[in-house]
Amino acid sequence: MNQMQIESLRFIKLLNVVYKEGLHLGKTNQGLFEKSIDIEWGNQLDTNVAAAEQLDAFAARYSRMQDTLGDKLIPSLLRMLAENTGSNLDNLYRIEKLKN
């Protein structure tokens, strides 16, 4: 197996991971944002353990998905396209330029 094939398999696996992370995030998102979120709701987080845990789950899942995209999936895509990789910001800039 050559390096491009290895990178292609890695990319496909990462796509699957991001897809699953998106499903989990969507479920948490649906449960969290079906409620009215306002200052009163935020002030009750100290006593409403379920709401606090739901908010924490959303933040954790969002962060995990963002990390997977920025740290793994985008660099893998750039390597498959024979592009150089750099910082997350540089990688996003490269992806944006490739889009055009």
Q: What is the pLDDT of residues 1-56, one digit of tens each?
A: 898 899 999 999 999 999 999 999 999 999 888 888 899 999 999 999 999 999 99
**What domain count does the chain have?**
1
Give the pLDDT of residue 9. 95
- Tell me if 13 sits within 8 A of 72, measured CB to CB: no
Give the pLDDT of residue 36. 86
> What is the distance between the alpha carbons of residues 20 and 37, in angstroms, rounded to a whole number?
26
Give the pLDDT of residue 100. 73
> What is the distance between the alpha carbons of residues 20 and 69, in angstroms, rounded to a whole number?
12
Give the pLDDT of residue 35. 81
pTM score of the predicted model: 0.83
- Of 14, 6, 29, 19, the C-alpha closest to 80 is 6
Range of the domain at 77: 3-99
